[in-house]
Structure 1
């Protein structure tokens, strides 16, 4: 360039913005949180929502115990994206966060603190203990609240709902009293899942399954007596010889079964002392097997005879260390023959047994027996197994078979012979001494055939992580098949009927599989165990008649006046009122003899607490709704047996229907390899760490990018990919801000006056508007983000922006440049608001860069309306052809650039051969050289020469490279023939006019 050639750089309309390329989110995000708090974003939205239709996402309360994990973050971010998107689509989207505060986890923590100080919980005043629990919950609520807010989650944080608030405790008690008054509450004794370590019953939702190594034993029950079936013979046809033969067969069978054993198999040796019977399968083939030889190490003896399922006999003999040649099958054993037998417990007659097991054992057929494992026989301890319990309940025999051998701490009752004081588990949940004691005793009395160990999936308490047992104990239940009140309800007469109809008729499920899961659970579930034997929670506010049986009609006191006094006290003092001195007299008043009634001190299952939240949050708060029904409950898939489940049962018992219209479920969070996160594996990802390294918006973007309906993966490499996506989006927004610097009202152009390229962008915006709204309405955040991300990176950055940079930078005040800036304003309005529910901090930063102001915020805006007439399908079809041809040209030029023939596309003026007439017409009707960013281009319908470049995915298009002719314009860098022929040196006509 000559020394006197002018420098045109300062004459270009270069983008101007202070918006940084580096986000610095970890440091900057807290400032926006403070800003939102100062201007009261959430409350301002409520104040300005006017007559908008409410949208209520009811928060499933997390537990106030410990720092947040990545699952908490996923859940709360999903909820926030729902609430924000619904608000920006025109609803009054309210969100009241809440916490579960009662229950065993907190009580357990306080007990641990006591144990470290050498204090005994049972010696502490119950109200003092409850106050310690309350303080513990309060401290964690404050911590978790700040951790949730740091994720950018909006809501009524200064006034959340807490299940331990006095009003909440009053309403929980009131909801319980509805079960008391409508006839569904009863006290029963049945096996429930029991935690010996925590000394309380557990609900299914409080149990998780882990592998456990258990003892397994094969136990012999001797055939003590048998009444073999007689064979009937026709008097007309039978001869004396026939009768003698039949008699001989019966006698032979009797001899064969004399001293034989029925063998059972169990993985719970500790239940043998509670055995009350053995059952077999009527459709299973059984045989009598005799031992003919034994090794020294076997407990079997030559001549022993065992009745076994034929499919399992060989395995049992192997377990008894008998080889194939050491036993033989003697005969078939028919169901009729089994039906005539009576069995003896292996401990019957044992010295020191005090007759505990001397009575004959019940022996009968049962439908639940199979021959897939074990022996084909099942030992029955109905106090410790639901199938046996249900069978004997159906037979009306519970009084004969229920035992109370196991105490609340998992120890045998002290006076149980041989085993009194033995424990199933030790205090920490490990193996106790009960199983070994039982096995040793069986060996001593000759009752054991074999023993071993097995690793299997076993229920554990999700709090203490200790194994649980089935234990028969008096508990309070809500009957789900008993008519509720008078049973007159359009949804059904029972809780189960109402729940199943609600699932099918009233609730929308996302994904649909959630419906199937909850339906099957409700369909098959037993009655709801409401009681827990703990101290921290809402008590079962009821009284029972002293000395009466649960079956007595007046067993439960049902007095509205008593109920009202309880509720009044709870409203003023909380549930502690139940435990204060004189509470019984206070509540019974002068209407009842105080000595005639017993006060119940069990507490309610915490799932009843959380299941009741619809009443004191949705119904009672001023920011709730009159019908007390939420638009959406959103939790993880484990809540089909948890909060979704308990809320359904509770509401169907009190209001007759589900408390929600929609249920959305998400999966669990795994590491990058698909493994469950575990501290021991060192693969945990903590929200706090992600926020410190990347910022909360990156975590939110990870949520938006993932298919939350399945299990999600997260880890360092995945987060790097998310951060890269974020950078690309940020660059798109930065380009828009730069292009819109100093834009004014005079720059705006009506759509009808715009070039086709701009009208194509408007068409895409109209399409995206529908996609975004439909996606957010269906909670399809992944679909919304993918659509917007592809639009920003592929259609804007790599296409539209790439093409229009030249006009934006080099044009003067032309209609083309004004149209482009108008479109970019429309893009800005939509992209910032469409992405705001996901990238709450970044879109606020983008918005404030353009619209600064003390009260300005993107989160106070709605999605802008997009005119329907922006859609132009014919134009879109035409530009699909243009874009396809452009891809072929771009690929052809890339070959030349790689080969060092050219350095930039502006050095080219290719010839494009097009076979399709419609495509050829489309290309010749537009400035195809501008679209391909070349200095010139020729489009022809002539056949492509052999040397033409072809792109397989764009058939019918051939590109022949030609260099651009002319000189390089020093302002726009295009190579054109007219450069140097204008007033301004070394410029083209367009730049010369712009300089004027």
Structure 2
């Protein structure tokens, strides 16, 4: 195109050059708050709700925890949700988003306790409702901070009316749904091993556990056979364990009937060994050599096979039986029992069984109705209780999560008793609390459970009679993105134990139930099940919140006039916070005016860790209370890693904070990063990655700037009917129709990586590198021609689609682009929908024809690029190549077009003559060759084409086309 050069006459001012004030530099960090302020004044979210006749679409927000500033995972999560909500709104839905927060639970309680310790205060001396009030205040403070941080990301929703699990109505519904478990018979109190945090002194759910490497003691312990086969009287069964502290609670030894076992005799040992020649041991055959070598036996013999039936008849002595000072504490029989959980992959083929400290161990005892043999030897601080000889007061882990003296002391006593044959240390994956990061133990404590295999009989058994049956059935009625999420949750639900509902803390919703004094948990009348009492609790909680449970005289107030308060004890444990968040569907989707008619969300979306967390608890809770899942779609995103693929950690120093990205680049760059990654897998972020995102952003911004400049002063009078447009414009409309389908399908499937990639590729390849490149000449140099009018009409059509298609992702930038054309206080791209695209724009025959045209063009442009690099020409307009085309159909297509304009040359000669040897070819495009030739004539001083007619018209130094434009 024309530019200032010495030979240029004064024609630049006559060109239709782009005109726009849209800046090249975005300045997002400074300008984004201005648009946020504008949207707040416009109340965009409320305006969208006023659009009538739309199908509701609800993405239910998984509540983040009200504790601390946002991290990059929060930004990813909320941006994904925002793109889904905005895109569905612009596809014609009434897309609702109610943000919420999880406000109860241990992390907040822990923070208040830390503040108390710093002030020298004792939590136990503070009235419980004063303590709860401080927890509430702390949570509210972080809700306010996080709300502002989410809003800065551009997240839309009912920020003025979010949901909080600590709101009175929420606490009322949580208690109400808990009492549905009370009434339908699934609630029970049991004493069984649960995951217990010695640091936090409370039971934990599976969702509150993470696994880290931990160095543990490993010991091989021999149990003397007390009764069994004659030749086994002097034999010992060997077990292996990494939890020596559980040996004092041993009650059995487990074997597997499918494993081959043998009786082994030690023949010789190393000088230092806890075994001796002549010792007899029962071991799994596949592990015997490894075990005896570990015990420093240098020679040993397999005496004979030991059958499963023989093992079933054996009883052993505890290794600490008869120990001096134990007062007979361990002088009981240790039966040998079968168990499917026993393997010969590692260990000895026999499993030490302490039913109070292991899930499999416990199930073995449940199966045999031996629950009266459970032990209660370990307290809430992982300390041996006073009644346990030798070990009373010793801790497994101390208050800081460090190893106490319990393990080492048990090992020492086993050595004294002659029960140890080998020991070592191993590093293995071990469960830790995700809050304190300290290791946990399995501990038998009285807890409250929801029985997931007990028939409910509430009339909602369409999908199953038990919670587990319902959940497994409902999983297959849900659409999972990605599908692997279904398999993961299904396997978890299939194998999970009963739900531990109780926590021994203070900040949360209490288990609103009463137990009858003097009754046992197994008694039919142990729990008070009175609908009138439940109704009174609900009424009080709605007005006063859960604090009412802890006020003086609350039991009399609740039971008075309905039951005799003296007959019952009030339960003061609090509910698992996963029950809180699992209940959100009830007090958000069901109860709010902006909820859903059926109480079911269209989408739940969270990180992959929520298969054991929110997805899981919501499914169990809803199946227990409503008989079905609370969601139709579940979308899962991966975890965010640094550029090297490492997990982010403050200690490593590789964390990426959203606030810093926004300060440097702006929120739109962060949002664009989200759109460019495959969020269903783990994704990476870092400085170099953000530079790449910024480059993509600049290219898109330049595309929008070019359209804005070319559409200056465009009016409806300039619009042209697509049917009258040249083929090139009709081709672009065809691509738009294809893209419209792809965009809508992608957004509907929550695949906005696919949406963005499709739109970005179209913008760079179809528009910038092809259509814009070709039509610059007509746009800049033509007068009121068909080509120029058609091009400007297509640019207007492109403008409306690209800005709206990208608006859910680049919310700030597309608003800026929109306001550049349609300024006004009431104007916003976020108030419009995706334009409907006429189906008749699709033109497959035209697209097939132009596929050949574009291939031929590629050969021409590649040939001319070589001439330009060799400095034979400075620009393609200096050329007039001869193009040899073998395919008659393609040749005819080229002859029907102004192919020289398509190739941006001054002229083109087309022929079906055979390709000469010197013709330029591209290997991937057969049958097309180009012979370079310079254009004949003189360079037009306005459009720069080299043409024979330049200088033969009214205006000096121009071609006929430019002369007409000037006239």
TM-score category by the smaller chain? Answer: over 0.9
Taking the TM superposition and a 5 Å limit, the aligned residue runs for 1:277-356 are 277-323=252-298, 326-356=299-329
| Alpha-carbon distance in structure 2 between the residues aligned to 1:64 and 1:120 | 24
CA apart distance, 1:330? 2.5
Equivalence for 2:366: 393
- Relative distance call for 1:713 and 1:281 in structure 2 (3 A) is same
| Alpha-carbon distance in structure 1 between the residues aligned to 2:944 and 2:224 | 103
CA apart distance, 1:5? 7.4
- Where does the alignment leave 5 or more consecutive residues of structure 1 unmatched? 229-253
Which of the numbers 724, 738, 749 marks the counterpart of 2:695?
A: 724
Does structure 1 conserve the Cα–Cα contact (< 8 Å) formed by 2:211 and 2:431?
yes
Equivalence for 2:868: 897
Equivalence for 1:422: 394
CA apart distance, 1:487? 4.8
Equivalence for 1:12: 15
Does structure 2 conserve the Cα–Cα contact (< 8 Å) formed by 1:487 and 1:494?
no
Does structure 2 conserve the Cα–Cα contact (< 8 Å) formed by 1:279 and 1:379?
yes
Say which SS state the counterpart of residue 601 (structure 1) adopts. Answer: coil
CA deviations 1:100-147 (Å, max 9, x no partner) are 000111111111222222222222211111111111111111111111
Equivalence for 2:495: 524
User: Structure 1 residue 263 and structure 2 residue 238: aligned?
Assistant: yes
Equivalence for 2:465: 493
Equivalence for 1:29: 32
Taking the TM superposition and a 5 Å limit, the aligned residue runs for 1:631-670 are 631-670=602-641
CA apart distance, 1:660? 0.9
| Alpha-carbon distance in structure 2 between the residues aligned to 1:738 and 1:308 | 84
Which of the numbers 355, 363, 366 marks the counterpart of 2:339?
A: 366
Say which SS state the counterpart of residue 292 (structure 1) adopts. Answer: strand
CA deviations 1:740-796 (Å, max 9, x no partner) are 001112111101111110111111111111111111111110111111000000000
TM-score (norm 2): 0.98
| Alpha-carbon distance in structure 1 between the residues aligned to 2:407 and 2:659 | 45
CA apart distance, 1:293? 2.4
| Alpha-carbon distance in structure 2 between the residues aligned to 1:503 and 1:2 | 71
CA deviations 1:641-668 (Å, max 9, x no partner) are 1111111111111111111111111111
Say which SS state the counterpart of residue 523 (structure 1) adopts. Answer: helix
Say which SS state the counterpart of residue 793 (structure 1) adopts. Answer: helix
Equivalence for 2:951: 980
| Alpha-carbon distance in structure 1 between the residues aligned to 2:236 and 2:462 | 56
| Alpha-carbon distance in structure 2 between the residues aligned to 1:3 and 1:432 | 88
Equivalence for 1:481: 453
CA apart distance, 1:4? 11
Taking the TM superposition and a 5 Å limit, the aligned residue runs for 1:565-964 are 565-964=536-935
CA apart distance, 1:338? 2.2
CA deviations 1:695-719 (Å, max 9, x no partner) are 1111111111111111111111111
| Alpha-carbon distance in structure 2 between the residues aligned to 1:837 and 1:600 | 49
| Alpha-carbon distance in structure 2 between the residues aligned to 1:762 and 1:486 | 58
Say which SS state the counterpart of residue 398 (structure 2) adopts. Answer: coil
Equivalence for 1:190: 192
| Alpha-carbon distance in structure 2 between the residues aligned to 1:983 and 1:339 | 114
Equivalence for 1:232: none
CA deviations 1:705-739 (Å, max 9, x no partner) are 11111111111111111111111111100000000
Equivalence for 1:236: none
Does structure 1 conserve the Cα–Cα contact (< 8 Å) formed by 2:938 and 2:948?
yes
Does structure 1 conserve the Cα–Cα contact (< 8 Å) formed by 2:191 and 2:445?
yes
Does structure 1 conserve the Cα–Cα contact (< 8 Å) formed by 2:460 and 2:626?
no
Say which SS state the counterpart of residue 726 (structure 1) adopts. Answer: helix
| Alpha-carbon distance in structure 2 between the residues aligned to 1:553 and 1:643 | 33
CA apart distance, 1:488? 5.2
Say which SS state the counterpart of residue 307 (structure 1) adopts. Answer: strand
CA apart distance, 1:365? 2.2
- Relative distance call for 1:776 and 1:354 in structure 2 (3 A) is same
Does structure 1 conserve the Cα–Cα contact (< 8 Å) formed by 2:818 and 2:829?
yes
| Alpha-carbon distance in structure 2 between the residues aligned to 1:183 and 1:264 | 40
Does structure 2 conserve the Cα–Cα contact (< 8 Å) formed by 1:320 and 1:450?
yes
Equivalence for 1:42: 45
Q: What stretches of structure 1 move > 3 A for 4+ residues in a row? A: 1-6, 485-488
Equivalence for 1:158: 160
| Alpha-carbon distance in structure 1 between the residues aligned to 2:390 and 2:600 | 57
Equivalence for 2:960: 989
CA deviations 1:163-193 (Å, max 9, x no partner) are 0001110111111111111111111111111
Say which SS state the counterpart of residue 925 (structure 2) adopts. Answer: coil
- Where does the alignment leave 5 or more consecutive residues of structure 2 unmatched? none
Does structure 2 conserve the Cα–Cα contact (< 8 Å) formed by 1:185 and 1:479?
yes
| Alpha-carbon distance in structure 1 between the residues aligned to 2:296 and 2:856 | 79
- Relative distance call for 1:722 and 1:2 in structure 2 (3 A) is closer
CA deviations 1:571-599 (Å, max 9, x no partner) are 11110000000100000012222121000
Does structure 2 conserve the Cα–Cα contact (< 8 Å) formed by 1:265 and 1:375?
yes
Taking the TM superposition and a 5 Å limit, the aligned residue runs for 1:58-69 are 58-69=60-71
Say which SS state the counterpart of residue 382 (structure 1) adopts. Answer: coil
Which of the numbers 138, 143, 146 marks the counterpart of 1:144?
A: 146
CA deviations 1:188-210 (Å, max 9, x no partner) are 11111111111111111111111
CA apart distance, 1:486? 4.1
Say which SS state the counterpart of residue 142 (structure 1) adopts. Answer: helix
- Relative distance call for 1:161 and 1:2 in structure 2 (3 A) is closer
Say which SS state the counterpart of residue 983 (structure 1) adopts. Answer: coil
Does structure 2 conserve the Cα–Cα contact (< 8 Å) formed by 1:562 and 1:589?
no
| Alpha-carbon distance in structure 2 between the residues aligned to 1:868 and 1:90 | 18
Taking the TM superposition and a 5 Å limit, the aligned residue runs for 1:385-464 are 385-400=358-373, 402-464=374-436
CA deviations 1:514-557 (Å, max 9, x no partner) are 11111221122121111111100000001010110111111111
| Alpha-carbon distance in structure 2 between the residues aligned to 1:140 and 1:630 | 26
User: Structure 1 residue 969 and structure 2 residue 940: aligned?
Assistant: yes
Equivalence for 1:240: none
CA deviations 1:443-485 (Å, max 9, x no partner) are 1111111111111111111111111111111111111121223
Equivalence for 1:357: 330
Quick check: 386-395 or 826-835, which moved more?
Answer: 386-395
CA apart distance, 1:680? 2.0
Say which SS state the counterpart of residue 356 (structure 2) adopts. Answer: helix
Say which SS state the counterpart of residue 399 (structure 1) adopts. Answer: helix
User: Structure 1 residue 465 and structure 2 residue 467: aligned?
Assistant: no
What is the root-mean-square deviation in Å for CA atoms of aligned residues?
Answer: 1.3
TM-score (norm 1): 0.96
| Alpha-carbon distance in structure 2 between the residues aligned to 1:368 and 1:91 | 51
CA apart distance, 1:292? 2.5
- Relative distance call for 1:274 and 1:5 in structure 2 (3 A) is closer
Quick check: 839-848 or 191-200, which moved more?
Answer: 191-200
CA deviations 1:10-35 (Å, max 9, x no partner) are 11010000111111111111111111
| Alpha-carbon distance in structure 1 between the residues aligned to 2:179 and 2:7 | 96
Quick check: 840-849 or 620-629, which moved more?
Answer: 620-629
| Alpha-carbon distance in structure 2 between the residues aligned to 1:2 and 1:124 | 85
CA deviations 1:393-420 (Å, max 9, x no partner) are 11111112x0000111111102210000
Say which SS state the counterpart of residue 52 (structure 2) adopts. Answer: coil
Does structure 1 conserve the Cα–Cα contact (< 8 Å) formed by 2:378 and 2:385?
yes
Equivalence for 1:218: 220
Equivalenced residues, count: 964
Say which SS state the counterpart of residue 308 (structure 1) adopts. Answer: strand
